[in-house]
Amino acid sequence: MVQPAVSSAPPAISVAHKTDPGRDPDKQVNEDSCGYGLCALGHVLVVCDGMGGHMSGRDASQRAVG
C-alpha cells in the first residue's frame, strides 16, 4: 500500500478581518488591531481590543499585534 506524502507546510488559508468601534456614540474611533503570521506550529491569528476611551488604546493594540 502506498503511503500519502506528508507535507510540513501548513495548509493555505485566506484571512480577512473586520472590527467595529462599538455602540457608544462618544467613542467612534476604532482602536482594534488584527494580525496574521506563521510560526513553527502553523498559522497565528491575533485580534486585540483597543479599549476605546483609554489613553493610547490604539497604540497598545497595534504594539500587541506588532
Over its C-alpha atoms, the chain yields an Rg (Å, rounded) of: 18
- Band (40; pLDDT cuts 50, 70, 90): confident
Instruction: Give the three cell numbers for residue 16.
Output: 480577512
Note whether 10 and 43 are within 8 A (CB). Answer: yes
Residue 5 pLDDT exceeds 70? no
What's this model's pTM, rounded to 2 decimal places? 0.64
Average pLDDT (46-58) is 79
Convert the pLDDT of each residue in 20-38 to its tens digit: 877 877 777 788 889 999 8
Element (H, E) at 42: strand 42-48
Beta bridge partners of 35: 46
* Backbone φ, ψ for residue 61 (5° rounding): -70, -35
Whole-number percent of the chain with pLDDT over 70: 86
